[in-house]
Structure 1
Amino acid sequence: MFLMVFDMYALLMFTVLVLHGIVNGERPAAVNIGAVLTYDSAIGRVAMGAIEAAVRDVNANKEILKGTRLNLIMEDSNCSAFTGAVRAFKVLDKEVITVIGPESSAIAHMISYILTGFQVPLISFAATDPSLSSLQYPYFIRMTQSDSYQMSAMADLINYFGWKRVIAVFMDDDYGRNGVYALDDELSNRMLKISYKIAFPVGASRHKITALLQNSKLIGPRVYVVHASPDSGLEIFHAAEDLRMMTDEFVWLATDWLSTNLDTFESNRTHSLSFLQGVVGFRQHIPESRKKISFESEFNRLNGVPNSMLNTYGFYAYDSVWAVAYAISDFLDHSGNITFSSNNQISSTQGPMRIDKIKTFDGGELLLQKLLLLNFTGCSGPIRFDSSQNLIGRNYEIINIYGSVMKTVGYWTNLTGFSLSFPDPLQMNSQGNSSASKVLGNITWPGGMTKIPRGWVPSTRNSPLRIGVPHRVSYVQFVTVSKDNHTFQGYCIDVFIQSLKLLPYEVPYQFIAFGDGLITPKYWSLVKKVADNEIDVLVGDISINTNRTKFVDFTQPYIASGLVIVVPMKSTKSSAWVFLRPFTVRMWCMTGAFFFLIGFVIWILEHRVNKDFRGSPKRQCLTMFLFSFSTLFHSQQEETLSTLGRFVMMVWFFLLMVVTSSYTASLTSFLTVQQLQSPINGIDGLIASNDPIGYQEGSFSWSYMANSLKIPVSRLISLRTPDDYEAALLLGPKNGGVAAIVDELPYIEIFLATKSGFGIVGQSFTRSGWGFAFQRNSPLAIDVSRAILKLAENGDLQQIHNKWFCHGNCTTHGASSSSPDQLHLRSFWGLFVLCGIVTMASLMLFLLRAIRQFILFKREKRDESPTTGCTKTIYSFFDFIDKKEEAVKKIFKKQPEAS
């Protein structure tokens, strides 16, 4: 009985003590954490040793968990998503509160689903798949950088060297596919492109990889981006070496898997570097610190992982354990207890494995928040997480392999871009790119080249450049295709061939005709063939317009173009009154008025001193009229004697010279230039008219008029040849023809050179040119553009033009663009005003002088005259005039004697 009472007392006391410990928040003696790794992998074997070392260091440090120990439960996923899921359940069965790993993105997808259901945080130090998102997996934390971050660096590197297209070689799993998708997005943001993708199966043999690489040699780009795993990626370079693809014609870029492999298997590095000559890759930058140096020495001393050295992911694995320790410590400070409860979603599950026995971690949400709020410095650098639950602030080293050395040639950060030395943290936190040097060190490329490789080949003998050529019906001076589609000639063909000859490399090519020679193909469909990779280049009379540049790249224009309007013309040479057209009515009236004014003023100025302007009233009127008109031909018989008269005649002759020369030039234009026969005199008249309008079959002028000018489609008439143009214009809109034709200037110039009676009205209402269409981001388009500029500068482009369009004398044919304008009074009003001022000033000066002399004469005769008042004044004036005339007569009578 006593023993029974004692047992009950002991049980009661134990219960009280336990409850007291729980209430007062005593820490548990041990906390289980799990790890799911692939033991036999480059990352897994290093991570396993790093995680074990970190658990030992945490347990040895009594200040972190304050007496609680970490109990590590580790399982091997065997590089299988299925096996990894099974091993995850085994780990969960041990009531772990967090899991570290796995390094495989495919396994991380599977385990993330499982751990989210049991509210257990998953910290992965090597799963870089960008699709591992916290939105889909709320309990997933990435203790490294996402591949979207690394692919941004890779896209910057490609853009830095000026390459436009690359070939992506990747492992066909979640890690490889999603990494390349991220690269494609980053390249697109920089107007670059992945032109070809090589996906090889997981565990593919070298024979399989060799076959895939062999196919890529037929494609133009020679820049390869390899995104593989550290365990199998080297087989790609072995295959490339067997195919002789490690030469100066190729560029090989690798993501950080390559540096991980070389750092891990350092004993095999010398052998590996022998077939990696010239490769450029990335390595995650781990800043130097005491913690890093201490951990490196401890890892190398223990060397718990045979034949493996520490790589960057080993540092992240080590820091993952410390992050878990700090978070658990904070969690225990706030919660004080770790509890599990049954999962209602799987409580009905039955079977030998008894998954229903696995319990949900009640504090999973709180522990997750503690992990995300961490802010400490580990071996790999600062440990902080962003809103997407990814590690913040990791940067990359750019490495170059040549000889027996893997050297660092620069650094990349998302804030400063590329730099030769690692930027100062203060500069990285400032405005960004101002302090970065934007340069990299000297890089040795495959084949020992130090010059930046071109990165692409336009074509080879086995895969020549596919050049599409439209088989035109008309205007064959531009493009001519023989009936058997073997001979290609024309202005456009010659320009393209001469451009290729100026390139610093050989471009094998072949022409491919499109069209049957009966109907000119639609050029829009040919442009689409370039965009769809059916052909590489489109050569011909291809206009550069906005819609087409959305799908293809054009070269520098080699001929100016633009839409113009052609209408019938009529000649005015037979008009009886054409000589009146150079001047407007106001101009004619003003000129005639000045003839009378000059004649009248000269008569007044010369009447008293020049006998040629004296005589009977009839004779003086006739002399005054004939004198002014005879000055037009400088045939006047009367001479001017007075100074004022000569001054007026000098200005008058100058005005006549300007007016007569302008009249002669304008009349010549009216007699030689054809005039419009159509009410359409420009783009406004074209739109306002309701008459039919012709356009060339297959030309973009139809879409421009229908879409841009909003001209009804019913008014647009398709025409094929210059003969069709002529017939439609001559018939006119009332007889089933057209009122005008809208086409590009080069075609119209040929049409006007061979057909008479037509002309261009107005100016070109579009500004464009003809160019050769290439696929988007084609480097060949840039080189051909430079070649076209050289052709223009050295005169070869003009010689090709003369060869096809200038037989004999290269003169401009056809009518002028519009009728010449009449000469308006506003063009000469300054001269007329000047002449009028001089004439009236001379007349006023003459009158003032006459009045002055009259006043002096009046004073002399004031006492001799018997009359007074008005009569006296009138008589005195006439006496003055008579005496002056007598004096002039005496002067003229003395002149013969003197002579």
Structure 2
Amino acid sequence: MEGVPRAILLLLLIVDFGAAQNTTRKATEIHVGLILNLDSLVGKVARTSVSLAVEDFYATHPNYSTKLVLHIRDSMASDVQAASAAIELLGNYKVQAIIGPQKSSEAVFISKIANITQVPTVSFTATSSSLTSDSMPYFVRATMNDSAQVKSIASLMQAYGWREAVLVYDDTDYGRGILPYLSDALQENDIRVPYRCVIPLSATSENIMQELYKLIKMQTRVFIVHMSSTMTSLLFTKAKEVGMMNKGFVWIITDGVANILDSLNPSVIEAMNGVLGVRYHVPISKDLDNFSIRWSRKYQRDNPDESPFNKLSIVGLWGYDAAWALAQAAEKVGISSTKNKRTWSNKNFTCLDSMVNFPNGHELLTSIVQNKFRGLSGDFDLTDRQQLKVSVFQIINVVGRGWREIGFWTVESGLSRQLNQNDLKITGSASMPDLNPVIWPGESTEIPRGWEIPTIDKKLRVGVLTSGYPQYIRTLKDPVTNATSASGLSIDIFEEAVKRLPFALTYEYVAFGTDDTASPGSYNDFVYQVYLQKIDIAVGDITVRYNRTLYVDFTIPYTESGVVLLVPVKEDMINNMWIFLKPLSTGMWFGSIILFMYTGLVVWLLEYLNGNKHVHAPFSLKQLGITIFFSIFEEKEKLERFLSRIVLLVWMFVLLVLTSSYTASFASMLTVQKLSPTVTDVLQLQKRGEYVGFHRGSYIEGLLVDIGFERSKIRPYDTPDDFYVALSKGSKNGGISALVHEAPYIKLFLANYSKGYTMVGPIYKSVGFAFALPKQSPLRAEISKAILNITGERINEIEKKWISNGSHQNEDKIAGSGAITFGSFGGLFLLTGIVTTCSLFVAMLMKRCKENQQIAGSRGDDQNACAHGQQEETGDLVEEKGEQNSDDNGNCSDLENQTTLPVPPISNANSDQLPDNKNNNTGCRCTQTNKATSLAHTS
């Protein structure tokens, strides 16, 4: 019987041990509040993701000592309701952390409550840049800041060449928070924001339609939309109704809507066809695919009446990772649950001062911030209490009922078509052609310009002003229709440029002033009308001035530039006794003389080596003349050597060219000097105290004063006839010595009064005439391109039409002809130098060869003489006769001038009758012709 009690006791011990084990394994509950707008798409997606994250976490970690318990509350899209829910959670459930709220405005209020209670608040949907960590120490943003995407939007604008954009946003903390960062990013890329469209949350369909009608009347056709998904859906639905989703429009949505695009209503997506979007890029993985399937099943269970089109978005992934991070942090801190479940009494329910601070709040906050891991959304890092790391943005294009990827953007590499998934580096250059093709609104494949002239508004107002020179512009007003017409060179160029624009431009002329009041003095006021938006463009003979560029922009000039002098010409007789030296430069004179002497010396040497009798005479003035001035030889003093004639022939050709050039230059110099201007420099007029004229009311008056002219020496005139009369009188007779004016006007004056006047300058560089437009006007670049395209015969036809092709022989600056330099004749001088030097070298070489032949011949005759002398029996008699013959003959003649006859061998029998030559080795071997003949007959 003792065995039974022992068995029972053992059984009881096992039961007690199991009960104890179950008691120790019970996890500590950590109460967490989840505040979302459960009527919104984002709220529904987030609730499913957070709930699934808690299930997955503890299914993966069943032995953890802590466990999150979610308390879900609906904010009903109200800041007050969200704050009330937070207070209720803190009071009734003493939650130790809050996930949410959904809106940025709600996060501001709740974060202040969290600061008092020291309860960490983690939001993965409040993206406003205004939520700073400094003023909200217990607020953690588990998503990226809105400002992270602004550079990708600016890069997209710059890639397609759009220079203006209208910002469309809702009047909330979320909508306004991105504005400073987006404006700065656009400004850095020289992109202007001409208008901001604010949509209040209470806006109805009619209110949105009114705003869209305002936008369609503007030139800008690029719109950046940063709104909630509800307001965005309404905006694009109405935009399609008013025709703003047609060809030429550009719409760019931020990541707030682009991230949840798949969950929007199909009819809304269809209305958004052609829209570009920027969204957070999530790398595709197998784990993400498996999670998407499980999430879809749970979402349908949580929302059985919801549309099946809703899909998992990046918001759901951020919610999943945020809940996972909170669960890990709670386990790391090891928070012990308070056993006292007492709730606050109703009388203290709304009293914030009665709330008890969470003792482990700061520790839990630190653990959340330091918790880093690889989540479903990518690298999860809450450094500085917000998700700062943004690796890649995806650029999408809405097409049909979905979207397609056109490229990527990263901070390091900018825009690119493809992305290397392994190392997250961009492949390709950051430029527009590196993106995939886009289907734009209206199913157009042509890249929009980004601006258009509104067709439903009034026509483009082209301001015109009658010029003091009607050839440039003149305006007329029809007394019946009151319509303004204009004509002139400026009008023809403007209308020709409009024809060459790649789009149709409707316009009407608006006259500024009247013919009686219009004057150049009112040009500043005329241009200022563009700044006042009374006219859209100012057309006329408008000079580009610095003070005008402060409030308007100008197209490229369509006329030549510069301020010049108009002066009379004079007949200047040449009285300089050395004028004949001016056609040739100093170097040319010295070079010609030296080469002249060198050629004469070489010819003299050539003739001397040839034995010319004219160069062997004693030195005299005649010899010097023959040496230097051989070109003036008398007829009997001819050159005898062929090389000398070659050298002289080449030199005579050089002299012929040089003489002709000298004659032409001298004649041209004398002719041009007779038509020289009376003044060549404006400073000469100032020093002499001469009077100068200018067009009344023009900026030339200020320019002359800046140069240093006294105002008493400056005289204004109105018309070209006044200029002509004043120049004809001259400065001493009440007129002027010169007129200072712009080059186009002087050119027009010379077309009618060219005789006796010329243009000198420019004395001051100016840009020329151009058209004025508002600052940052997109028309400026287009019209400038069209003006550049008016080239060739067309521009000449316009100028011939309005500016007569009269005599223009004096319109260019007149100056003396330049002297001929030595370099101009370098080729000819090189030719004659080479021929002369080579001829001398050849002559000396021939002389050397002849001397060597003579030496060799003399040695051979000496050997023959010695052989005959040994055979003679009476050597003395022959020697005496040889000496006698040597005395009779004297010196030998030149080998080239005498003929030597051959002497036959002499026999021994008659050797006694011939002279002995054995000792005549050094003497001349030649004899006179008659003696040689006599010896031949004797033998």
Q: Would the aligned equivalents of 1:142 and 1:391 in 2 still touch at CA under 8 Å?
A: no
Q: Would the aligned equivalents of 1:383 and 1:391 in 2 still touch at CA under 8 Å?
A: no
CA offsets 1:455-475 (integer angstroms, 9 cap, x no match):
4323426332233445433x4
Q: CA deviation at 1:275?
A: 3.2
Question: Could you tell me which amino acid in structure 2 is paired with residue 746 of structure 1?
Answer: P
- Give 2:488's aligned residue: 490
Distance 2:715 2:331 in 1: 83
Q: CA deviation at 1:751?
A: 3.7
- Give 1:3's aligned residue: none
Distance 1:371 1:418 in 2: 34
Q: Would the aligned equivalents of 2:693 and 2:738 in 1 still touch at CA under 8 Å?
A: yes
Matching of residues 47-446 of structure 1 within 5 Å: 47-58=46-57, 62=61, 66-93=64-91, 95-259=94-258, 263-264=262-263, 269-286=265-282, 287-290=284-287, 292-293=291-292, 295-304=294-303, 306-307=305-306, 309-312=310-313, 313-332=315-334, 353-385=350-382, 387=384, 389-393=386-390, 395-403=392-400, 405-415=401-411, 416-419=413-416, 423-428=419-424, 430=425, 439-446=434-441
Question: Could you tell me which amino acid in structure 1 is paired with residue 324 of structure 2?
Answer: W
Q: Would the aligned equivalents of 1:28 and 1:68 in 2 still touch at CA under 8 Å?
A: yes
Q: CA deviation at 1:206?
A: 0.5
CA offsets 1:364-406 (integer angstroms, 9 cap, x no match):
4443333232222333232123557234236444444444x21
Q: CA deviation at 1:296?
A: 1.6
Distance 2:331 2:527 in 1: 66
Greater shift in the superposed pair: 733-742 or 833-842 = 833-842
Q: CA deviation at 1:799?
A: 1.7
| Distance verdict in 2 for CA 1:725–1:376, change over 3 Å | farther
The yes-or-no answer on 1:814 pairing with 2:811 is yes
Question: Could you tell me which amino acid in structure 2 is paired with residue 125 of structure 1?
Answer: F
Q: Would the aligned equivalents of 1:36 and 1:100 in 2 still touch at CA under 8 Å?
A: yes
Q: CA deviation at 1:221?
A: 2.5
Q: Would the aligned equivalents of 1:458 and 1:780 in 2 still touch at CA under 8 Å?
A: no
**Aligned to 2:462, which of 460, 467, 473?**
467
Greater shift in the superposed pair: 717-726 or 836-845 = 836-845
Question: Could you tell me which amino acid in structure 2 is paired with residue 487 of structure 1?
Answer: S
Distance 2:689 2:135 in 1: 63
Q: CA deviation at 1:497?
A: 0.8
Structure label with greater radius of gyration? 2
| Distance verdict in 2 for CA 1:450–1:597, change over 3 Å | closer
Q: What TM-score comes out, normalization by structure 1 length?
A: 0.73
- Give 1:641's aligned residue: 638
Distance 1:379 1:592 in 2: 92
- Give 1:9's aligned residue: none
Q: Would the aligned equivalents of 2:591 and 2:822 in 1 still touch at CA under 8 Å?
A: no
| Distance verdict in 2 for CA 1:62–1:402, change over 3 Å | closer
Q: Would the aligned equivalents of 2:462 and 2:510 in 1 still touch at CA under 8 Å?
A: yes
Distance 1:388 1:531 in 2: 48
Describe the SS at the equivalent of 1:487.
strand
Q: CA deviation at 1:697?
A: 6.5
Note the residue ranges of structure 2 that are not aligned, 5 or more in a row: 1-24, 340-346, 851-885, 891-939
Distance 2:38 2:551 in 1: 50
Describe the SS at the equivalent of 2:326.
helix
Distance 1:697 1:386 in 2: 70
The yes-or-no answer on 1:449 pairing with 2:444 is yes
| Distance verdict in 2 for CA 1:317–1:145, change over 3 Å | same
Q: Would the aligned equivalents of 2:29 and 2:337 in 1 still touch at CA under 8 Å?
A: no
Distance 1:692 1:548 in 2: 29
- Give 1:561's aligned residue: 561
- Give 1:480's aligned residue: 474
Distance 1:490 1:468 in 2: 14
| Distance verdict in 2 for CA 1:43–1:831, change over 3 Å | closer
Distance 2:113 2:716 in 1: 70
Question: Could you tell me which amino acid in structure 1 is paired with residue 667 of structure 2?
Answer: L
- Give 2:912's aligned residue: none
Distance 1:681 1:639 in 2: 64
- Give 1:540's aligned residue: 540
| Distance verdict in 2 for CA 1:817–1:325, change over 3 Å | farther
CA offsets 1:507-542 (integer angstroms, 9 cap, x no match):
101233446654325767766665675544343345
CA offsets 1:410-445 (integer angstroms, 9 cap, x no match):
342324545555x234342x4775699964445433
Distance 1:676 1:670 in 2: 14
- Give 2:922's aligned residue: none
Distance 1:714 1:97 in 2: 87
Distance 2:65 2:567 in 1: 100
| Distance verdict in 2 for CA 1:384–1:828, change over 3 Å | same
Q: Would the aligned equivalents of 2:464 and 2:509 in 1 still touch at CA under 8 Å?
A: yes
- Give 1:4's aligned residue: none
Question: Could you tell me which amino acid in structure 2 is paired with residue 322 of structure 1?
Answer: W
Q: CA deviation at 1:486?
A: 1.9
Describe the SS at the equivalent of 1:71.
strand
Q: What TM-score comes out, normalization by structure 2 length?
A: 0.70
- Give 1:800's aligned residue: 798
Aligned length: 800
| Distance verdict in 2 for CA 1:181–1:527, change over 3 Å | farther
- Give 1:876's aligned residue: none
CA offsets 1:584-620 (integer angstroms, 9 cap, x no match):
79699879989998999999999x9999xx9xx99x9
Matching of residues 500-579 of structure 1 within 5 Å: 500-514=498-512, 517-520=517-520, 530=530, 535-542=535-542, 555=555, 557-564=557-564, 569-573=569-573
Describe the SS at the equivalent of 1:128.
coil
Q: Would the aligned equivalents of 1:125 and 1:317 in 2 still touch at CA under 8 Å?
A: yes
Q: CA deviation at 1:234?
A: 1.7
Distance 1:553 1:60 in 2: 68
Q: Would the aligned equivalents of 1:470 and 1:513 in 2 still touch at CA under 8 Å?
A: yes
Q: CA deviation at 1:207?
A: 0.7
Greater shift in the superposed pair: 204-213 or 374-383 = 374-383
- Please provide the CA RMSD for this pair: 5.5
Q: Would the aligned equivalents of 2:28 and 2:336 in 1 still touch at CA under 8 Å?
A: no
Q: Would the aligned equivalents of 2:382 and 2:388 in 1 still touch at CA under 8 Å?
A: yes
Q: CA deviation at 1:498?
A: 1.1
Q: Would the aligned equivalents of 2:463 and 2:512 in 1 still touch at CA under 8 Å?
A: yes
Q: Would the aligned equivalents of 1:299 and 1:310 in 2 still touch at CA under 8 Å?
A: no
Distance 1:154 1:359 in 2: 46
Distance 1:176 1:398 in 2: 21
Q: CA deviation at 1:741?
A: 6.0
| Distance verdict in 2 for CA 1:651–1:322, change over 3 Å | same
CA offsets 1:684-733 (integer angstroms, 9 cap, x no match):
x8999998987666767788899xxx856977969564566667778888
Q: CA deviation at 1:488?
A: 1.9
Greater shift in the superposed pair: 200-209 or 777-786 = 777-786
Q: Would the aligned equivalents of 1:260 and 1:311 in 2 still touch at CA under 8 Å?
A: no
Distance 2:839 2:281 in 1: 97
Describe the SS at the equivalent of 1:426.
coil
